[in-house]
Structure 1
Amino acid sequence: MTASGGRPASLAVDERPEIGRTVVADGIATNYLEAGAGAPLVFVHGSGPGVTAYANWRGVLPVLAEHFHCYAPDMVGFGFTERPDGIEYGVQTWADQLLGFLDALGLDRVHLVGNSFGGAIALRLAARHPERVDRLALMGSVGVPFPITEGLDAVWGYQPSFENMRRIMDYFAYSRELVTDELAEVRYRASVQPGFQESFGAMFPAPRQQWVDAMATPDDELAALPHRTLLVHGRDDQVIPLATSLRLLELIDDSELHVYSRCGHWTQIERAEKFSRLLAEFLVD
């Protein structure tokens, strides 16, 4: 494996744990985290303001890295991946980057985990390049049409301020213990790093229902997916409705659905231990 332009990846706490290795994926210098050994497992993050692969997956990567060779890239427009001038953001752009990421690292076939927006990317890659995906896990996934929720509209329409970040944090988590001023301040500071809001603000302009629809993969392609698929959803998700996972359960023949009660959109955070165990068991069963 070759990498350039970054430090060796680490999940240890250091001064910038969200910055790992860099590889050119479909022409885009892509920042990614890497840990563990074994079968390759790739994580695709969600689309909240200021999000990075590290922010999404920091709680589960160390656990899964005990069993798998884990990779977690920052998708273009997010985190510390290059933001090329003139790029057109869209699900196919991100799916092409993800395919380029697998090619650049010589990963012929991988387990794929997609969170929310990342689920739509995982579904598009699996539908168009099924031979590259072994098992598929989707959490609160976009990828089928649904009426945009108040929560998702607020997340995609975020304008930087502590108050706005505090407000959208309330949509993400069921547990009020997780939604603290300290967390909102950390996420707000992340959202205003140079280039972060400029790219995020360009992705999902109003009316935002069009972007929900644009992230969908056609039903016939989803129904043709041959992959064993795990669907995970928080029953109380205010960002992506549970109905999306129920629809995917109908469409994907070899799929199963696990619903967490008293859980919002952050299943990997609110149910980190249980989710990590569920995912590991699904992938080795």
Structure 2
Amino acid sequence: MPTADPTPRELLPPDGLAHVIDSPEGPIYYLDVGSGEPLLLVSAWGPQPGSTAWLLYRDVLAVLAKSRRCIVVELTNYGHTGPVTFHEPAHDVCVRAVVRVLDHLGIERITAVGTSQGATTCLDLALQHTGRVERLVIGACHASTGGDPYLLAPFPGEVMRLQLESQADPGSRDKLERLLRGLWYDESLVTAELVDELMAFRAQRMDHWQATQDSVSVPHSNVVDLPRVTVPTLVIHGRFDRMVPFEQALMIMSYLPSADVVVLNECGHWPPMERPDAFASLVLDFLARTSPAA
């Protein structure tokens, strides 16, 4: 189980939770925490590199891993997975990484949980591997690679612009801080210690940054295919998400026949990090309500 430490939000888990498998596209990093029915979690878009699985899900795992075996896969080029250079929809690359971990662990069917890019990856997983995903918890996401049209909000959003500025100057501490303050509702999460650790993590993984710079994520719309996702689905979205506006949660719900939406107040683009107790409670309640035995 995760243990407390003096660092408010460290990027790396305690010893023994992290694992790496080899693949034709390089190493794939995942966490394996707890025991019980397996639950897949996929990490989120954000500082690249620097958006680690532990940073996003640390406090959620402290709850979910009491009753579930949590398999947490890091997105390609965001944490430890990669580096991979690609010319295709970015989510397709991430889906392959997730499937390789599931195959490595011998897991055929899974409930998939994701936030942001991790959520779109889970949607793509359900579309590309029908039958392997039995339930979905997603949110803070677009349905499609490259985004979906907004009805009200401007596109791209404020945080996307801040991320592009940070990516163009990865050695800038100021631009990283501005990105984090836009990414999260609670700016007190952006501590000097966390920024120090993120800067050091990025400096050690500039090959991941370069791979992303050399890659092209080809846009691909999933909107027309969404009604094919008929498994029970819960959409969890932050009220103050300045990357993906809440209207996207409503759009996704309108296309998914079995989806419910929950909006969390005082929450930005990373609900599992900013509202971990509420997020974990919602996941556990959803699993209980949609269990075959329920």
Give me the TM-score of the superposition, normalised by structure 2: 0.83
CA deviation after TM superposition for structure 1 residue 200, in Å? 4.0
Distance 1:255 1:197 in 2: 35
**Counterpart position of 1:171:** 182
1:256: Cα distance to partner? 0.4
Q: How many residues align?
A: 267
Cα distance in 2, alignment partners of residues 279 and 196 from structure 1: 31
**1:21 maps to 2:19:** yes
Who is 2:159 aligned against?
151
Match of 1:36 among 34, 40, 43: 34
1:283 & 1:26 partners in 2: Cα distance?
Answer: 34
Question: Paired residue for 2:250?
Answer: 246
The percentage of counterpart residues that share the same residue type is 27
SS at match of 1:259: strand
Which gives a bigger RCO, structure 1 or 2 (Cα 8 Å, sep 6+)?
A: 2
Greater displacement, 136-145 / 120-129: 136-145
Q: In structure 1, the residue corresponding to 2:263 is in which secondary structure?
A: strand
After alignment, is 148-157 or 274-283 more displaced?
148-157
Q: Which position in structure 1 is the counterpart of 2:152?
A: none
C-alpha deviations, 1:67-92, integer Å up to 9, x for none? 111111222223222325x5446221
CA distance in 2 between partners of 1:109 and 1:217 (Å): 25
Counterpart CA distance in 2 for 1:140 and 1:243 is 10
- Paired residue type of 1:17: P
Shift, 1:123, TM fit: 0.7
Which residue of structure 2 lines up, in the alignment, with residue 60 of structure 1? 60
Could you tell me whether the CA contact under 8 Å between 1:116 and 1:142 is conserved in 2? Answer: yes
Asked if the contact 2:116/2:270 (under 8 Å) is kept, the reply is: no
**Which of 166, 173, 185 lines up with 1:162 in the alignment?**
173
State the TM-score, normalizing by the size of structure 1: 0.85
Provide the aligned C-alpha RMSD in A. 2.3
Work out the CA distance in 1 between the residues paired with 2:226 and 2:23.
Answer: 25
Inter-partner Cα distance in structure 1 for 2:26 and 2:2:
23
Counterpart of 2:210 in structure 1 is: 198
**Offset of 1:203 from its aligned partner?**
4.8
Report the alpha carbon displacement of residue 217 of structure 1 after superposing the two structures with TM. Answer: 4.2
2:28 counterpart letter in structure 1: T
Aligned partner letter, 1:251: Y
More displaced 10-residue stretch of structure 1: 48-57 or 184-193: 184-193
**Matched-pair contact (CA < 8 Å) for 2:44–2:75:** no
Shift of 1:149: 0.7
**Which residue of the other structure, out of 237, 240, 243, is the alignment partner of 1:236?**
240
Contact 1:26 1:100 in 2 (8 A): no
